[in-house]
Amino acid sequence: MTRGIEDLVSADATLVSRRAFTDEAVYKIEKERIFGRAWLYLAHESELKASGDFVTTYMGETPVIVARGPDGRINASVNSCTHRGVAVCHVERGHASRFICPYHNWTFGMDGRLLAIPQQGKIERPVDKARLGLRQVPRVESYAGLIFGSFDPDVAPLEQYLGNMRFYLDNYFARFADGVEVVGAPHKWRLAANWKLPVENQLGDVGHGPFLHGAVLGGRDAIAEIEAYGFNMVPEPGHGAAIRLLPPETPLASRMWGSENGSASAFSAETQAFLLDTQRQMEDRLGSVHARIKGLTYGVYPNFSFLWANSTIRVSHPRGPGKVEYWSWWVVPAGAPESVKRELQGVYNGFFGPGGLLEQEDSDAWAQQYAGSAIDYMDDHPYYYGLGAGEEEVHPLLPGVAGSCYNEHYARQFYLRWQRDIAEGAAR
Amino acid sequence: MEQQHAIEQFYYREARMLDDRRFLAWLELLTEDVRYVIPTRHIRLGHLPARGGDEFHLVERELGGAEEAALREDRLPLLTIRAKRALAPNAWAENPPARTRRFITNVEIEDDDACAGEVRVLSNFMLSYSRHGADNHLYSGQRQDRLRRSEDGFRIAERRIVLDWNVVTAPTLALFF
């Protein structure tokens, strides 16, 4: 066991050791006790509409195929042949009736069952195919179209795991009458950073916006709005939702999704009408608190993030302590006309993704934070996460614990849960 | 031959302009209606109806279509923001700036439409990128350009950049290729 693992996070989590991001031994424990147990985002149901539809992804570093099987149920299988370990699927997504391992052509169904061993006819002793299916992810559950999986058969049900986070997920994912749709395969890029750094940023680090992104966001009304009405919510320890709760008298056009930075006025009349109509319908359906909420960034423990305004789901796939493969999906209202979707596209890829105006700066900052975390002789200089400590409180309208937009309690609660998971895992 | 030479010279000047970080001068090489696109590049199985033929593994099928969010889908306003931002002191991903070197090869005139005053040109690029100390990267890909003739030379009306990566392994795609 790693010595001093219980000291990586101080009791009130205002201090987090740099080694939490760089230590190989800590990373091994994370893979076992966090990525081996937590609910991890797999895919969106809109990507798997019909039996035979599949996508490939990772749970931590473990490659998995997520597919809608012949019975219509969504399942997840580890993408590794049970014969010699070769991946049975080498593409990102598609529609198929079976997966064939290239090496000896063992053939698996869309539910991971072993269908055929081509060599079997030439040997005499029977092989029990029922025992040789692809390794199944034991728990696969969905919430609001978001499919998660866990390697822990005893993990709490997803709805319970999400807890109060469901309220904030609903605010986006239940907003559109026809639901949402993930379009295309994700953007994927490598970052020279620890997996927790992008996660932490999107749990609630609105505080970096006016500074790191000063050249783009400096002086914008959006910053004033966040400072006036912004909250860092901790729905449950480890999850986060940075939002704005606008005054009830805010005009419809200023509180609707799609109205960031006055961008809505640049849209066509058709798109503006769609956004207004969507907002009206949402307010009728979800009620007066949701009507006042404009989201910013969300995080579901451990490595799922969502950017509300920019409509993108992201997952921070670890690749060792110092590498991340970051995946980013564009999400659209399923019922929107094509022309509206085209106009909304720039709200995502103009700012986010590997070529985005803002994400370019975030990516560089995370890599530099990782470099800072790896400096020697700095064990006595942990990172300070104390901004706003003790100022968080229960809010009458918003589920969870509320802090101001610069309160770092979202990170404190994340690292406390993280510390508990890696320390307590040993006792299980 | 003359046309080929003129286009090559245009590309070399453009590459030098970008390597010399004269981004505002580079903006002058774009048309008002410029489209600047980097599609995603997917990993897909071959197209079964075309098995046995060159169409089976068509590159075009690996590129994200119009309905998908491209890695970049820039018009002049966004390109202008990028160029100006790169010259701002608080643009933390650009200051200090990257050291870049662009190599443009395989320049091939695909179609010369004299009536429209436009030339479709393919070229390959390599871009060497170095910013933090020894953290050096090499980009490679193809550019599919539509160049428009103007009184004082060519203007870029469209550039589509076909990267050779599925997972982007360099630190940023917020560059001019």
Q: Which domains does chain B have, with CATH numbers?
A: 2-39+67-163 (3.10.450.50)
pLDDT of residue A1: 42
Cα–Cα distance, A166 to A243 (Å, whole number): 14
pLDDT of residue A113: 97
Pull the structure tokens for residue A315. 């997952």
The ipTM (two decimal places) reads 0.95
pLDDT of residue A425: 64
pLDDT of residue B147: 98
pLDDT of residue A310: 94
- Taking CA atoms, what residue in B is nearest to A210? B90
Residues of A in contact with B67 (CB under 8 A): 183-184, 338, 341
Which tens digit of pLDDT belongs to each residue from A66-119? 999 999 999 999 999 999 999 999 999 999 999 999 999 999 999 999 999 999
Per the CB < 8 Å rule, is A357 touching B82?
Answer: yes
pLDDT of residue A344: 93
Chain A: which residues have CB within 8 Å of chain B? 90-94, 183-185, 187-192, 212, 214-216, 218, 325, 330, 338, 341-342, 345-346, 348-350, 353-357, 360-361, 363-365, 367-368, 371
| Cβ burial, residue A209 (10 Å; 0-12/13-18/19+) | buried
Which tens digit of pLDDT belongs to each residue from B125-171? 999 999 999 999 999 999 999 999 999 999 999 999 999 999 999 99
pLDDT of residue A424: 77
pLDDT of residue A263: 66
Q: Cis bond leading into B96, ω under 30°?
A: yes
pLDDT of residue A360: 95
pLDDT of residue B52: 96
Q: Which residues of chain A have pLDDT under 70?
A: 1-3, 261-263, 425-428
Q: Which residues of chain B have pLDDT under 70?
A: none
Q: What residues contact residue A19 under an 8 Å CB cut-off, 6+ apart?
A: A8, A26, A373, A379
Question: In angstroms, what is the C-alpha Rg of chain A?
Answer: 22
Per the CB < 8 Å rule, is B45 touching A91?
Answer: yes
- Closest partner residue to B43 among A92, A349, A353, by Cβ? A92
pLDDT of residue A223: 85
Cα–Cα distance, A169 to A309 (Å, whole number): 13
Across chain B, mean pLDDT equals: 96
Cα–Cα distance, A170 to A166 (Å, whole number): 6
pLDDT of residue A79: 98
In 3D space, the residue among B107, B176, B101 whose CA is nearest the CA of residue B147 turns out to be B107
Nearest chain A CA: its distance from B59 CA (Å): 15
Q: Cis bond leading into A302, ω under 30°?
A: yes
The model carries a pTM of 0.96
